[in-house]
C-alpha cells in the first residue's frame, strides 16, 4: 500500500470513529412538523474530536484551531437551513445559526453526561457536508511569509505524530498545502525578490478558496492581500469532507468538495 493511502485511511478513521463510536442510545421518537428529523450522531462523538485536539501538545496547535464548516449539497445553501440541533432535554440547541457556516458546538459537563443525539431535518435529495478545518489564527495584517506557512504545516505534522505515534506517522502523508480564502474584491499575490505575481483577483461576491503550495516558491516569499483574509486553513493530508447521514448508516460518507482548486 502506498504511503499516502495508508496515511489517508489512518487520519480519516479518527474523525469517522469519533462520530460513530459513542455508546448506543435508546431509540427515541421525535415529532416534527413537516419533514422528518434524522439522528446523525451524538454529543459525545463530536465532543471527542474537540477534546482530542485540545490535548495535543502546545507545539502541535499553538497557531491553530479546529472547526467544522457546513454546507448543504447540492445547492450549497447555508447549513442552518438543515436545522442541525442537539436534541437536549432542556430544548434543541442549534449547531449552525444564520449565514454562519462554522459549527457552534457547546461544551459542558452537563451535556456530556446527558449525551443528546444530533438531529437534522432535510429532504432525502439534500445532504449536509462538513469540512474538517484547521484554521490558522487571524493575522494582524493580511500577509504571511513562506517560512510562516512552513511553521503552520509543521504543527499539523506534529499533530499527526501525536495521534499515531512516530512509526505510524512515518506512513502518513505530510501536510504541504494551505487553503487561503481570499475575500470578495481582494487581490492576492506572491512577492518574490521584490517582484509581485498575482495569484487571485477575486471580483466575485463571496470568498474564493485558493490552494497554495508554499514550497513551490522561493525562500523569503511574501504572500499578501489588499484586504483581510476570510480564513486561512492548513489542508489536512486526507479527504477532509464528510457527509452527515442517518446514524444507522455509516455516520459520515464522503462527498465531492466544493473548492476552487487553483494550483500554483
Using one digit for the tens of pLDDT, what is the confidence trace for 168-205? Answer: 434 444 567 899 999 999 999 999 999 999 999 999 99
Q: What percent of the chain has pLDDT over 70?
A: 73
Domain residue ranges of the chain, discontinuous segments joined by +: 41-137, 140-240
From the list 148, 146, 151, the residue with the least C-alpha distance to 217 is 146
Judge whether 84 and 128 are in contact, CB under 8 Å: yes
Rounded (10°) CA dihedral 33, 38, 41, 44: 30
* Radius of gyration of the chain, Cα coordinates, nearest whole angstrom: 20
pTM of the full predicted structure?
A: 0.73
- Does position 148 have pLDDT exceeding 80, yes or no? yes
| Segment 134-143 mean pLDDT | 94
Beta bridge partners of 38: 120
What is the Cα–Cα distance from 203 to 184, expressed in whole angstroms? 6
Judge whether 48 and 18 are in contact, CB under 8 Å: yes
* 116-120, 151-155, 236-240, range with greatest mean pLDDT: 116-120
Sign of CA dihedral 87, 256, 251, 32: positive
Higher pLDDT among residues 22 and 232, named by residue? 232
Element (H, E) at 151: helix 146-171
Residues in the chain: 264
Higher pLDDT among residues 141 and 262, named by residue? 141
What is the Cα–Cα distance from 159 to 174, expressed in whole angstroms? 11
Element (H, E) at 113: helix 109-114
| pLDDT tens sequence across 24-80 | 444 454 444 456 789 999 999 999 989 988 888 887 788 889 999 999 999 999 999
Report whether the peptide linkage leading into residue 200 is cis, meaning its omega lies within 30 degrees of zero: no
Amino acid at each position: 500500500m502506498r504511503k499516502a493511502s495508508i496515511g489517508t485511511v489512518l487520519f480519516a478513521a479518527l474523525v469517522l470513529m469519533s462520530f460513530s463510536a459513542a455508546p448506543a442510545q435508546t431509540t427515541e421518537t421525535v415529532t416534527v412538523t413537516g419533514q422528518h428529523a434524522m439522528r446523525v450522531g451524538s454529543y459525545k462523538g463530536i465532543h471527542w474530536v474537540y477534546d482530542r485536539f485540545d490535548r495535543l501538545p502546545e507545539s502541535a496547535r499553538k497557531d491553530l484551531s479546529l472547526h467544522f464548516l457546513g454546507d448543504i449539497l447540492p445547492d450549497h445553501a447555508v447549513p442552518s437551513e438543515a436545522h442541525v440541533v442537539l436534541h437536549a432535554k432542556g430544548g434543541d440547541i442549534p449547531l449552525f445559526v444564520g449565514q454562519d457556516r462554522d459549527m457552534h458546538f457547546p461544551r459542558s459537563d452537563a451535556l456530556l453526561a446527558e449525551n443528546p443525539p444530533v438531529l437534522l431535518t432535510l429532504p432525502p435529495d439534500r445532504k449536509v457536508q462538513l469540512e474538517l478545518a484547521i484554521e490558522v489564527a487571524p493575522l494582524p495584517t493580511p500577509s504571511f511569509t513562506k517560512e510562516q506557512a512552513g511553521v503552520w504545516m509543521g504543527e499539523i505534522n506534529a499533530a499527526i505524530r501525536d495521534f499515531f505515534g512516530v512509526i505510524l506517522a512515518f506512513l502518513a502523508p505530510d501536510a504541504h498545502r494551505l487553503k487561503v480564502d481570499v475575500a470578495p474584491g481582494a487581490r492576492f499575490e506572491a512577492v518574490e525578490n521584490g517582484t509581485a505575481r498575482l495569484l487571485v483577483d477575486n471580483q466575485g461576491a463571496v470568498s474564493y478558496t485558493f490552494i497554495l503550495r508554499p514550497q513551490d516558491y522561493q525562500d523569503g516569499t511574501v504572500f499578501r492581500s489588499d484586504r483581510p483574509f476570510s480564513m486561512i486553513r492548513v489542508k489536512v493530508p486526507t479527504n477532509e469532507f464528510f457527509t452527515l447521514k442517518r446514524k444507522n448508516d455509516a455516520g459520515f460518507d464522503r462527498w465531492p468538495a466544493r473548492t476552487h482548486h487553483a494550483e500554483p
